[in-house]
């Protein structure tokens, strides 16, 4: 990206704090006179509004599934899926304080659990969401009248504005199902554009057979009359077997990328653009023993470990991970992965939104 390089290669500018650190008595008195008019001198807030490079209060962090699962299992005794609407534990970035929460300032992440026979009631919202299914059998999510059954590693995208509910159809005594959810909660919050409606009944009527959308839009064809609109996407289910197959196929003929190993991007098959309008999602495979080259980008990225184990070094912090763990690399922080056992990492971020707004930048370091 050309713009990225001109911005990245600019010489460090003078310290903007210098203009405010030594405010004179006269300047302080002036601030005091304009404040009652709800005015702030720009030169006073410039360092906050315009740091020389991206700054984030978010910290690198890891959530270990091994530690969290007992609490998830306990949550089913505390509240029903129906009462909770979504019985999920949100991953809170330890660097965020006050009203701000989320795994970064723009996106959320949570583990959700359901027991056999339960329904998580239907609702719709302006947030875009997705689920990455982790464990158990018999779970479905129903989107806009179509049930989608979920297996380990499947990505199911929930477009904004469509009614959805979830259920677990396993018989009595079947183990609970657990998946990972994400939403662009903070992003919609910043834009103050969030709408949320609960449906009048627990289940939104199912009107289309299983497999309808993937069959119609994910087979290299579209219904003849369909014209994709920029914000419209019709494919919701990305089964793990297909995505993992794409990685294996890349690996068979392409060299291992020093930054990414072998990596694929989830796309809207009718446009080739990101699969969601706000969040980008990727899946990558990294061979055992690999240490990736240092990399940073302006999108704070969240990784869900699907297979393997290893650690990720973010600045001075080392995050160890194994399957079903989740870790976050905040915006613009140098990081690399050290792979102990061949790993498959799913990752997501607000990169799709940043790219659309011309705000996304990356930098590749040398080993
Ligand atoms: C939500 O709608 C779901 O639909 C899951 O499953 C987690 C966390 C915060 C706000 C809405 C879902 C959520 C959520």
For ligand 1, whether the C-beta of 150 sits within 6 Å is no
Residue 282 pLDDT grade (very low, low, confident, very high; cuts 50, 70, 90): very high
Residue 5 pLDDT grade (very low, low, confident, very high; cuts 50, 70, 90): low
pLDDT tens per residue, range 243-262: 999 999 999 999 999 999 99
Q: Torsions phi, psi of 346, nearest 5?
A: -95, 140
Whether the per-residue pLDDT at 16 is higher than 90: the answer is no
Q: Could you give the residue range(s) of every CATH 2.60.120.10 domain in the chain? A: 61-217, 239-364
**CATH fit for domain 61-217, picks 3.40.640.10, 3.40.50.720, 1.10.3720.10, 2.60.120.10:** 2.60.120.10
Residue 180 pLDDT grade (very low, low, confident, very high; cuts 50, 70, 90): very high
pTM greater than the 0.75 cutoff: yes
81, 88, 279, best to mutate for ligand 1 pocket (most atoms within 8 Å of CB): 88
**From ligand 1's centre to the CA of 160, what distance in Å?**
12
For ligand 1, whether the C-beta of 110 sits within 6 Å is yes
User: Which CATH architecture group holds 239-364?
Assistant: Sandwich (2.60)
Task: Report the atom number in ligand 1 closest to the C-alpha of 166.
Answer: 6
Q: Which residues contact 299 (CB under 8 A, 6 or more apart)?
A: 280, 331, 349, 350, 351, 354, 360
98: which 2 tokens?
């006050």
Whether the per-residue pLDDT at 48 is higher than 90: the answer is no
Task: Report the atom number in ligand 1 closest to the C-alpha of 141.
Answer: 6
For ligand 1, whether the C-beta of 313 sits within 6 Å is no
Look at residue 98 in the predicted model and tell me its pLDDT. 79
Q: Which residue's alpha carbon is at the smallest distance from atom 14 of ligand 1?
A: 86
**From ligand 1's centre to the CA of 9, what distance in Å?**
41
Look at residue 1 in the predicted model and tell me its pLDDT. 43
pLDDT tens per residue, range 108-162: 999 999 999 999 999 999 999 999 999 999 999 999 999 999 999 999 999 999 9
Whether the per-residue pLDDT at 11 is higher than 90: the answer is no
**From ligand 1's centre to the CA of 82, what distance in Å?**
13
Whether the per-residue pLDDT at 15 is higher than 70: the answer is no
**Mean pLDDT for the stretch of residues 225-247:** 93
348 forms beta bridges with: 281, 302
Look at residue 231 in the predicted model and tell me its pLDDT. 84
Distance of alpha carbon 82 from alpha carbon 75, whole angstroms: 13
Whether the per-residue pLDDT at 197 is higher than 70: the answer is yes
Residue 100 pLDDT grade (very low, low, confident, very high; cuts 50, 70, 90): confident
**From ligand 1's centre to the CA of 183, what distance in Å?**
7
Whether the per-residue pLDDT at 14 is higher than 80: the answer is no
Beta-sheet strands, E only, within the chain: 61-63, 88-90, 108-114, 119-125, 129-135, 139-143, 146-149, 155-158, 164-168, 177-183, 196-198, 237-238, 262-265, 280-286, 295-297, 301-314, 317-321, 326-329, 335-349, 362-364
For ligand 1, whether the C-beta of 88 sits within 6 Å is yes
Whether the per-residue pLDDT at 4 is higher than 60: the answer is no
Residue 230 pLDDT grade (very low, low, confident, very high; cuts 50, 70, 90): confident
């Amino acid at each position: 990206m050309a713009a990225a390089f001109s911005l990245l290669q600019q010489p460090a500018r003078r310290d903007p704090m210098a203009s405010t650190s030594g405010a004179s008595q006269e300047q302080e008195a002036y601030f005091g006179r304009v404040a009652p008019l709800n005015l702030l001198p720009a030169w006073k807030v410039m360092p906050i509004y315009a740091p020389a490079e991206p700054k984030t209060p978010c910290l690198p962090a890891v959530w270990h599934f091994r530690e969290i699962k007992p609490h998830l299992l306990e949550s089913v005794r505390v509240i029903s899926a129906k009462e909770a609407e979504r019985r999920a534990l949100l991953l809170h970035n330890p660097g965020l304080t006050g009203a701000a929460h989320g795994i970064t300032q723009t996106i959320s992440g949570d583990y959700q659990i359901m027991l056999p026979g339960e329904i998580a009631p239907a609702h719709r919202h302006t947030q875009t969401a997705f689920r990455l299914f982790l464990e158990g059998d018999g779970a479905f999510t129903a989107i806009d009248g179509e049930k989608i059954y979920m297996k380990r590693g499947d990505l199911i995208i929930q477009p904004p504005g469509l009614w959805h509910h979830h259920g677990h159809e396993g018989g009595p005594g079947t183990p609970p199902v657990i998946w990972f959810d994400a939403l662009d909660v903070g992003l919609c919050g910043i834009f103050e554009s969030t709408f949320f409606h609960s449906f009048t009944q627990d289940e939104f009527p199912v009107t289309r057979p299983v497999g309808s959308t993937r069959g119609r839009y994910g087979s290299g064809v579209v219904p003849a009359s369909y014209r994709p609109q920029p914000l419209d996407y019709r494919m919701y289910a990305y089964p793990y077997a297909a995505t993992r197959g794409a990685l294996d196929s890349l690996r068979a003929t392409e060299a291992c990328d020093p930054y990414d190993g072998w990596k694929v991007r989830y796309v809207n098959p009718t446009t080739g653009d990101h699969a969601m309008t706000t969040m980008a999602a990727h899946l990558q495979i990294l061979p055992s023993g690999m240490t990736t080259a240092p990399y940073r980008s302006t999108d704070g990225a969240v990784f869900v470990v699907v297979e393997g184990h290893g650690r990720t070094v973010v600045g001075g912090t080392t995050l160890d991970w194994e399957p079903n763990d989740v870790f976050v690399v905040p915006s613009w922080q140098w990081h690399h992965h050290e792979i102990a056992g061949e790993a498959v990492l799913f990752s997501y971020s607000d990169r799709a939104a940043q790219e659309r707004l011309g705000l996304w930048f990356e930098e590749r370091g040398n080993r």
